[in-house]
Structure 1
Amino acid sequence: MIIHGYRLTPQRIIPLDLSASSLDELTGRVSDGFYTTFSTLAQGTKVLGLNAHLNRLYEPARELRLHPSVTEQTLRQHLAKLAGTNLPHESRIRLVLTKDKGEVYAGIQPFIAPPKEIYEKGVHVVSAEMARHDPRIKGTDFISQSAAQRKLVKGDIYEILLMKNGRVLEGMTSNFYAIKNNTLITAQKGILLGVTRRIVLRLAKGEGMSIEYRSPKLNESFDEAFLTSSSRGVVPIVRIDVQPVGQGRVGAWAKTLSLAYQAYVEERSESILP
């Protein structure tokens, strides 16, 4: 699949004279910076948590006193136009704001929904000792730093869990949660606080779950586990490394939270154009 890249200016959407086979490859060809990735909904007109995604770019820029090449309002207008180029398909979009000049780039590809099988049967993940240098920021440098670990995602391995001292922090491209005795266990420190994570924690409380904020030990016994991300929602985990999670099948809580999340997406997605 060819990924199309663009540089965004106040007046124009300028195609980049390069080709890439993935959003990660495209990201590696622009200057170091901050990024966020999301998918469109409702025929390219809505995004879940768009304000939070844009804050991932503009808040670090303010801290560094950068002047982004486009305002948030202009960026939204450009996003609406880019999303229209993929219709009738929804779009998966990555935005990058560079640290040197504050330039804004966009990579776009047709969004392909995850197969139903991962939600019905769950996924296998593996662990790796690694953590983000600065988990507060979604920096493009992490993509290159984790290149070797990303190559482990093949065959039936769906995701890499980042570990520190035997404790699970998060997924390479997701947040991680364990469930034990109706309590949701998830790290609070040393992780990227994902957009979908905030929603799922709120939904879990609404369903009556207790929340325990800590990095779970890999050798703990869990009833269930799952990961979340903006483009995948709630994905049940049935095996970590060689060990099954719980009974080795999708559990009731993962199903409940997945349905609650889907309903939330339909009701609460934000319009790209205000």
Structure 2
Amino acid sequence: MSRTVYVNGDFLPEEDAKVSVFDRGFLFADGVYEVTSVLGGKILDFEGHAVRLERSLGELDMGMPMSRDELLDIHRRLVTENEIEDGLIYLQITRGAADRDFAYPPEGTPQTVVLFTQTKPGLADAPMAKVGLKVITIPDLRWDRRDIKTVQLLYPSMGKMAAKAAGADDAWMIEDDMITEGTSNNAYIVKDNTIITRHLGHEILHGITRAAVLRFAAEAQMKVEERSFSLAEAQAADEAFVTSASTFVMPVVQIDGQAVGEGTPGPVAARLREIYLDESRKAAV
């Protein structure tokens, strides 16, 4: 059955959905995106994603093309029409279509807004959560404004392919001898029952799942340090894990071929995953 997708105000069968070849998202990667998870037919962390979307647009001098309520209605309709029980909703907004020019198009040029769904049965029960990820490290060669969730994802894609070629699951990026983040997730280590993750700044994405997990960790009276950490520190850690909207909390058991801790998922990551899923389901819309 064909999916229903949303394009510029219309709900269409996916085969009928079209975007201009002059769209600046296609020509310049001049756009932003968000991904929200759906569990049990309800949307997780919608408010946080909407706030970050507005911030990303503002950082690129783009406006928000609709209200949060309108955006939520679109999300809900796509969930219903595509019968999504567990899955993802992808949203992309670009500066719109105009003749190719490095200068921004004239004010008033309509933005391009696209949303589509992906069904992911058993999203919260991913087998990898019981096994853990193996990651490699690569230099962080991205632009400096990683806090803006743009569609410039070529280097993260290259990182994932490098990991695959190395027989690993993902890559962590290193800048100035410190871990920044994963290709599509925030990175953490645990040492002596302290959760350590890089502080917020232009160097990393301000993860919505990251914010929720750190809040839940504080509520559970877990110790958290927001600071940079090195590869050597990560390899000597008791545990490691990542967070993202699509993987929630996912343990990391190996970095560059070296086991982290016992080389198996640790109790802190497991507990945070459990808390995050429980609390997020309660608050889902």
Q: Is residue 249 of structure 1 aligned with residue 258 of structure 2?
A: no
Kept in 1, the 8 Å contact 2:84–2:119? The answer is: no
Q: Is residue 36 of structure 1 aligned with residue 49 of structure 2?
A: no
Deviation at residue 74 of structure 1 after TM alignment: 2.1
* Counterpart mapping for 1:148-167 below 5 A: 148-154=158-164, 156-167=167-178
Contiguous gaps of at least 5 residues in structure 1:
20-26
Structure 1 distance, partners of 2:30, 2:230, is 33
* Runs of 4+ that moved beyond 4 A: 2-5, 14-19, 27-31
Aligned equivalent of 2:243: 228
Distance 1:183 1:231, change over 3 A: same
Deviation at residue 68 of structure 1 after TM alignment: 3.8
Distance 1:16 1:259, change over 3 A: closer
TM-score, structure 1 as length reference: 0.83
Deviation at residue 61 of structure 1 after TM alignment: 2.8
Superposed CA deviations along residues 199-257 of structure 1, whole A, max 9, x for unmatched, are 11112222322211112100121010001111211111110111110111111211221
Contiguous gaps of at least 5 residues in structure 2:
18-24, 97-109
1:214 is matched with which residue: 221, 227, 231?
A: 227
1:119 is matched with which residue: 117, 129, 148?
A: 129
Aligned equivalent of 2:11: 13
Distance 1:67 1:251, change over 3 A: closer
Count of residue correspondences: 259
Distance 1:228 1:95, change over 3 A: same
Superposed CA deviations along residues 123-172 of structure 1, whole A, max 9, x for unmatched, are 1111111154212210002x124332231243752221111122111111
Secondary structure of 1:36's partner? strand
Superposed CA deviations along residues 32-73 of structure 1, whole A, max 9, x for unmatched, are 201111121232xx2221011122222333455534443322
Deviation at residue 3 of structure 1 after TM alignment: 7.6
Secondary structure of 2:164's partner? coil
Deviation at residue 180 of structure 1 after TM alignment: 0.5
Identity %: 28
Kept in 1, the 8 Å contact 2:56–2:149? The answer is: no
* Counterpart mapping for 1:1-274 below 5 A: 5-9=5-9, 12-14=10-12, 32-43=30-41, 46-87=42-83, 89-100=85-96, 101-112=110-121, 113=123, 116-130=126-140, 132-133=142-143, 134-141=145-152, 143-154=153-164, 156-188=167-199, 189=201, 190-220=203-233, 221-269=236-284, 271=285
Distance 1:207 1:193, change over 3 A: same
CA RMSD of aligned residues (A): 2.8
Counterpart of 1:32, as a letter, is D
Secondary structure of 1:151's partner? helix
